[in-house]
Amino acid sequence: MSKKINLTLKVWRQKNCKTPGAFETYQAREIDTAMSFLEMLDFVNEMLTHEGRDPITFDHDCREGICGSCGAVVNGQPHGPLRGTTLCQLHMRHFKDGQTLVVEPWRAKAFPINKDLSVERSSFDRVMVAGGFISVKTGQAPEAHAIPVPKEAADNAMDAAQCIGCGACVAACPNGSAMLFVGSKVSHLNLLAQGAPEKKTRVLHMVHQMDHEGFGNCSNSYECEAACPKQISVSHIAFMNKEYRQASIP
């Protein structure tokens, strides 16, 4: 059964990536614990708008944990304290009455701030354009069983395909690395027969684009796996490294 709680919010406010930002403190009163975190921000924004103040800007879309649009760091944890959960699916019942929440955007060189909690993640799009595709004829979809796929390969590919590209792995990594994101995309496509024609060029182009975007390297801190709302394994980073080495051999 839901109840009401009061919270103190320290929210990062910044007009754009070229303007210095700072934390501002707000009192969130009578917050229903059945609300999601984003609904709580909506509630606070209604209060700010009513007072004639600038509402908090944050990214969101489906609010069902599918699209990967939402994301913020809550008390030092990307997507908040609940593992395997996106920010939009994190409910206020997981917080205590009187608690102080520090809310800030993803912190990464490759994710410049648009405004407040909203960051520019088009770097992920450019990595996908570099190699995250397969060459197939358009038209009617082929029969699903036309190409046999070993169950282990199919399971690993589907595990990697869960990645929603939210960027929590980058925000959690002390190096701002995107290797879990890129590794999951490489695994998803390279493990399946349909992705075989571009197998070598895919991993080379995606890794090179990742480096070009300014993402850091992996130092095996495993923070990315802990922060991932889909709990994707770091084993996909190892797979990507293996694919990259093999593709680099003349």
Structure confidence by residue, pLDDT tens digits, 85-96: 999 999 999 999
SS3 194: helix
Q: Are residues 164 and 240 in the same domain?
A: yes
Say how far apart CA 210 and CA 123 lie, in whole Å. 8
pLDDT of amino acid 38: 98
Q: Does residue 68 sit in the same domain as residue 22?
A: yes
Per cent of the chain over pLDDT 90 is 90
Rounded distance between C-alpha atoms, residue 218 and residue 239, angstroms: 13
At which of 114, 130, 150 does a domain end? 114
pLDDT of 171 > 90? The answer is yes
Whether residue 154 is found in the same domain as residue 170: yes
Q: Are residue 107 and residue 130 in the same domain, yes or no?
A: no
Based on the structure, what is the number of domains in the chain?
Answer: 2
| Tokens coding 37 | 């975190």
DSSP class of residue 55 equals: P
Same domain, 89 and 173: no
Residue 137 predicted with pLDDT over 90: no
Q: Helix or strand or coil: residue 23?
A: strand
Mean pLDDT computed over 175-197: 95
Task: Find the mean pLDDT for residues 124-137.
Answer: 91
User: Are 185 and 241 within one domain?
Assistant: yes
What lies within 8 Å, CB to CB, of 59 at 6+ separation is: 69, 70, 71, 117, 118, 119
Are residues 227 and 77 in contact, defined by beta-carbon separation less than 8 angstroms? yes
Query: What was the pLDDT predicted at 194?
Result: 86
pLDDT value at residue 158? 95
Q: Is the pLDDT of residue 221 over 90?
A: yes
Q: 235-248 vs 179-190: helix axis angle to the nearest 10?
A: 70
| 134 shares a domain with 108 | no
**For residue 61, is pLDDT > 80?**
yes
Mark whether 131 and 21 lie in a shared domain: no
23 and 56 share a domain?
yes
Cα–Cα distance for residue pair 215/171, rounded to 1 Å = 11
What does the pLDDT read at residue 136? 74
What CATH number does residue 142 fall under? 1.10.1060.10
pLDDT of residue 224: 97
Whether the model clears a pTM of 0.85, i.e. scores above it, the answer is: yes
Give residue 15's pLDDT band: very low, low, confident or very high (50, 70, 90): very high
pLDDT greater than 80 at residue 73? yes
Provide the pLDDT for residue 148: 84
147 in the same domain as 107: no
State the chain's mean pLDDT as an integer: 95
d(CA 59, CA 160): 24
* 22-32 sheet: strands from edge to edge: 22-32, 4-13, 100-104, 73-74, 77-78
Final residue in a domain of this structure, among 114, 135, 157: 114
Which residue range is the domain that position 100 belongs to? 4-114
User: What is the predicted pLDDT for the residue at 69?
Assistant: 97
CATH code of the domain in which 98 resides? 3.10.20.30
- On whether both 103 and 152 belong to a single domain, the answer is no
Output the six-digit token pair for 62.
Answer: 């489906």
Q: Say how far apart CA 44 and CA 5 lie, in whole Å.
A: 13
Q: Do 74 and 148 fall into the same domain?
A: no
Taking 90 as the threshold, does the pLDDT of residue 146 lie above it? no
Return the minimum-mean-pLDDT range out of 13-22, 191-200, 208-217.
191-200
Instruction: Output the pLDDT for position 214.
Output: 97
